[in-house]
Amino acid sequence: MATQHSRSAARLMMAPAVVLLLGWMLVPLTMTLYFSFKKYLPLRGGDLGWVGFENYVRFVTSSAFWPSIQTTLVLVGGVLIITTVLGILLALLLDQPMWGQGPVRILVIAPFFVMPTVSALVWKNFFMDANYGLFSYLWEFFGAEPIQWLSQASMPSLVLIVSWQWLPFATLILLTAIQSLDSEQLEAAEMDGAPALKRFWFIILPHLSRAISVVILIQTIFLLGIFAEIFVTTGGAFGTKTLTYLIYQRVLESQNIGLGSAGGVYAIILANIVAIFLMRIVGKNLDN
């Protein structure tokens, strides 16, 4: 029923958003590409000429590169698994009848409102600090040797902090999805004597697949860019250097814009690989 008229109107209406985002993509991308082929050291006078693919080679051959890819994948993967699994369980629980459902929901979603810097500071100082952290007291209370969280268990600590921040988001989306589930279908299954686990596996989980896809897609986009949490807690030490953090070090700490830009290009490539991968796995669920 779409007429030619409404089609061109539609294009016109889409134009501002598309043009703006195209600009927001192209300008930085062009500049990143441009700098990535340059020897560009601001503290040594800036532009020192073209160097071809030298920055790309140097970035990828540095001993920090592959570990950073691994760290990135562990962080993203770990947080995705934890938030999705716990999110489903939590959403199932919150969907049950109970007293004070509203207040409980508020408690559960609260971490989502906390800015990353603050949540990293809170976890680092009040919980994971070796001397004054609550975890130390807790461990000592039970007679255990306190763990040096941010040095000896750095990745689990980081995954814990980031999961805490994103669990509410996953729970919210999954909860909305569960609430839309046709309760008659469930009741019928219950009448038929299907055990709870079976009902979950054959009715609830398939119903949630779309919501799970959304959770994974949106979170991956944000998790690939995690920065403040690492900056505040470990500063990239103890194997917590993600690709994003490595680029930060090259650009801002080493003041090597060319090398950092080459790293940026790799990050875009990695993001696209992950995106294609995601589309393959979860993209199907997003189609109608």
Partner 1 sequence: MARAVTTQRKAINTALAWAIGLLIFFPILWTILTSFKTEATAIADPPVFFFFDWTLENYGVVMERSNYGKFLWNSIAIAGGSTLLGVIIAVPAAWSMAFVPGRRTKDILLWMLSTKMLPAVGVLYPIYLLFIKLGILDSKIGLIIVLMLINLPIIVWMLYTYFREIPGEILEAARMDGAGLKEEIIHVLTPMALPGIASTVLLNLILAWNEAFWTLNLTAAEAAPLTAFIASYSSPEGLFFAKLSAASTMAIAPILILGWFSQKQLVRGLTFGAVK
Partner 2 sequence: MYLKNALRAATALTLVTTAVHAETLTIATVNNGDMIRMQGLTDDFTEKTGHDVEWVTLEENVLRQRVTTDITTKGGAFDVMTIGMYETPIWGANGWLVPLDDLSEEYDVDDILPAMAGGLSHDGTLYAAPFYGESSMIMYRTDLMEEAGLEMPEGSPTWSFIREAAAAMTDRDADINGICLRGKAGWGEGGALITAMSNSFGARWFDENWQPQFDTDAWNETLTFFTEMMNESGPAGYATNGFNENLSLFQQGKCGMWIDATVAASFVTNPDDSTVADSVGFALAPHKEGIDKNGNWLWAWALGIPAGTQKEEAAKAFVEWATSKDYIELVAENEGWANVPPGARTSLYENENYKDVPFAQMTLDSILSADPNNPTVDPVPYVGVQFAAIPEFAGIATDVSQEFSAVYAGQQSVEEALEKAQALTTDAMEAAGY
Question: Binding string, 96-135, against partner 1, x = CB under 8 A?
Answer: xxxxxxxxxxxxxxxxxxxxxxxx-xxx-xxx----x-x-
226: partner contacted, choices partner 2, partner 1, none (Cβ within 5-8 A by kind): none
DSSP string spanning 48-81?
A: EEE-TTHHHHHHHHSTTHHHHHHHHHHHHHHHHH
In this structure, the number of other CB atoms found within 10 A of the CB of residue 141 comes to 8
268: partner contacted, choices partner 2, partner 1, none (Cβ within 5-8 A by kind): partner 1
* Residue 249 binds to partner 2 (criterion: CB under 8 A): yes
Which one of residues 78, 87, 116, 236 is an interface residue with partner 2 (CB under 8 A)? 236
64: partner contacted, choices partner 1, partner 2, none (Cβ within 5-8 A by kind): partner 2
Is the distance from CB of 40 to CB of 258 less than 8 angstroms? yes
Whose Cβ is closer to partner 1: residue 147's or residue 228's? 228
Report the nearest approach of partner 2 to the CB of residue 267 (Å): 18
The token duo for 190 is 């219950």
Is the distance from CB of 49 to CB of 39 less than 8 angstroms? yes
* Residue 43 binds to partner 2 (criterion: CB under 8 A): yes
CA-CA-CA-CA torsion for 249, 252, 257, 261, nearest 10 degrees?
Answer: 50
Spatial separation of the C-alpha atoms in residues 69 and 56, rounded to whole Å = 15
Number of residues that bind partner 2 (CB under 8 A): 41
* Residue 118 binds to partner 2 (criterion: CB under 8 A): no
Beta-ladder partners of 50: 38
Which one of residues 150, 173, 203, 216 is an interface residue with partner 1 (CB under 8 A)? 173
Spatial separation of the C-alpha atoms in residues 153 and 160, rounded to whole Å = 11
Is the distance from CB of 267 to CB of 244 less than 8 angstroms? yes
What are the residues binding partner 2 (CB under 8 A)?
27, 30-31, 34, 39, 41-46, 48, 58, 62-64, 129-132, 146, 148, 150-152, 231, 234-239, 241, 249-250, 252-256, 259
